[in-house]
Every structure is written in C-alpha cells, then in structure tokens.
A and B are shown apart, each in its own frame.
Chain A
Amino acid sequence: MAVPDATDLTCRELVELVTDYLEGALAARDRLDFERHLVWCSWCRDYLDHMRTTIAITGRPETADPPSPLREQLLEAFRDWKTARE
C-alpha cells in the first residue's frame, strides 16, 4: 500500500463523515472521496460495518420489561378493550 497523498481523506476524517454518508447528505465529490478511501482501507470498512450493525441492533425490540405497575395497567386496559369488542 502506498503512503497516502496529503489530499486523501484520513480515517479520522472519514469516521466523522459516516452519518452524512449513510444519510445521503454528502456532496458528489465528497461521496467519491469517501468511497475511494473505503476501497483501500479495510479498517474503515470495518468501522462502517460496526455502525450499520449498531443501527440494526438499536432497531431490535427492547428486552427489558417496563416497570411492573405500568405493565399490569396496560395488560388490564387491553383486556377491557378486548371485552368491550366482543
């Protein structure tokens, strides 16, 4: 791998552009620089993969139950609604 050109994006710069990239908010030129960096930098590809995976996991359902009085009240409200429907 050749020593990078001073005009190339550094990894440090790239990580700050990840959200703009994922949001489609980079100008065409910046997007090109971003993608060119990814071609030769597997570390930044890994970083992007971490970020996409983080987003996917955040979108998974929560696993911790809500406080139990609230949970009971909600289940009761559901039963009332169900009864009223029948």
Chain B
Amino acid sequence: MHRVAPQTSVSDDATVVAALRDGDEHVFAELVTAYSNPLLRLAQDFVRTRSVAEEVVQETWLAVFEGIDRFEGRSSLKTWLFRILVNKAKSRGAREARTVPFSSLAPTDDESAVPEDRFRGPDNQWAGHWASPPRPLDTYPEHRLLAREVRGRIGQALEALPDSQRVVVTLRDVAGWDADEVCETLGLSEGNQRVLLHRGRAKLRAALEQYLDED
C-alpha cells in the first residue's frame, strides 16, 4: 500500500490550511484542480443545470474562505469541503424543486463485480474459482501505479458510473465520508449504500486492471 501513497502537497491538511490562511494562491490553485471537477459533478446531481452547479461550486469555495480561520481539522479538509458543497447543493436543489433522485437510489438489477467468464464453470472440480485471476500488483512496473495518468483513468471510470454509484463512491472514496454520513445525507439504508459502493468500486477496479494490462 505504501506504493500508492498520495504524492502532492494538497494531501497534507495542516500545510494546506496554513497556506490558505496566508493567502497562498499557488496552493489554492492546486486545490481547485484537485477537487473542482468532482465537486461540480456532484453538484449537478442535486441541481437542474450546469450553470447552477457552477454557482454552487463557487459558493462552496467562498464558504471555505469564510470558514478557514475556524477550521479545526476535526474532519479532513476535503471531507469538510464536500460537506459544504452537498449542503449548498441540496438547499439549492430544494429551492428549485428539483426532485433529487436519491429516494430511488436503491440498487436494482443484479450485477457481478467480476465477469462470470473469469471463473471456472460448474463442470470443473474447481467450479467458481478463478480461471483468469487478477495479476499480483507487484508484477506490474511500479511507475504504472504511481503515474498521474492512473488517477485520470480512475476519474474517467468514476464519471461513467451510473449516478447512484458515482455519488456514493465520490462521497466515500473521493471525499472520505464515513458510511453513516453518506446514508444520512442521501437517505439510503446501510445495505443499499454498501451495494452501490460495491458495484461502483468493482468497476473502478476493472478500469485499473485494464489500464495496467495495456502495456
């Protein structure tokens, strides 16, 4: 796991918060790059139009400026950032009378985490065991996992997820929320939250594997 540790300075909250309080534009610009796309995508799940979503993102950053002196680090900076965004987007969505799709978030049809043909068929004495197993990560060149490109590929796969899976994976794995907060905010049962997370993560894992197998 140490091989995939975050590498950019925006991962160190104390440094980032101090830099923001000092008005360090370089650090702010890095944060904008790191989080604006997922914030924007998430806002669009709550409000009607892209332009309103952009306004919500702007309001969110203004609230960060206003609140940064009081930020105590009880949650991580990004968890807090996404919390502000979701609160603003929800109230904006409510004002627009937009029906937030989250009451219908419940997972519907069955889907497998891994395609069936990667497992041995019922006639095999090893039925249900891997026929085409995943490769150990340490057999891939190390730089492939460290490349900036790999986060971009995961980002594309995230973008392509069904809305309900994307929202849950974004809040859990991008924003770092815990399961309870996601369930409460979206009105999901614990079980449904886990199913959506499971299906979304399985697709991201498949995208990672595909990327790694490319050369």
Distance between B94 CB and nearest chain A CB, rounded to angstroms: 23
Within 8 A of B (CB), among A33-82: 41-44, 46-47, 49-66, 70-71, 73-75, 77-79, 81-82
Across the interface, which residues of B come within 8 angstroms of A59, CB to CB? 6, 173-174, 176
Residue pair B36, A60 in contact (C-beta under 8 Å): no
Across the interface, which residues of B come within 8 angstroms of A77, CB to CB? 58, 61-62, 65
Q: A43 touches which one: B36, B134, B208 (CB < 8 A)?
A: B134
Docked pose: A22 CA to B1 CA in angstroms: 15
Residue pair A58, B112 in contact (C-beta under 8 Å): no
Docked pose: A65 CA to B32 CA in angstroms: 8
Decide if B167 is an interface residue (CB 8 Å cutoff): no
Residue pair A15, B113 in contact (C-beta under 8 Å): yes
The total number of A-B Cβ pairs within 8 Å is 172
Docked pose: A54 CA to B158 CA in angstroms: 11
Docked pose: A51 CA to B169 CA in angstroms: 13
Residue pair B37, A66 in contact (C-beta under 8 Å): yes
Residue pair A57, B32 in contact (C-beta under 8 Å): no
Majority DSSP secondary structure for residues of B touching A: helix
Distance between A22 CB and nearest chain B CB, rounded to angstroms: 9
Distance between B178 CB and nearest chain A CB, rounded to angstroms: 10
Within 8 A of A (CB), among B76-114: 112-114
Distance between B146 CB and nearest chain A CB, rounded to angstroms: 10
Residue pair A3, B155 in contact (C-beta under 8 Å): no
Decide if B71 is an interface residue (CB 8 Å cutoff): no
Q: List 27 A-B contacts (CB under 8 A).
A: A11-B133, A15-B113, A15-B202, A19-B197, A23-B179, A25-B194, A43-B130, A47-B134, A50-B208, A51-B201, A53-B137, A54-B154, A55-B173, A56-B1, A58-B154, A58-B201, A59-B174, A60-B4, A60-B8, A61-B34, A66-B40, A70-B57, A71-B29, A74-B32, A74-B57, A77-B61, A78-B25
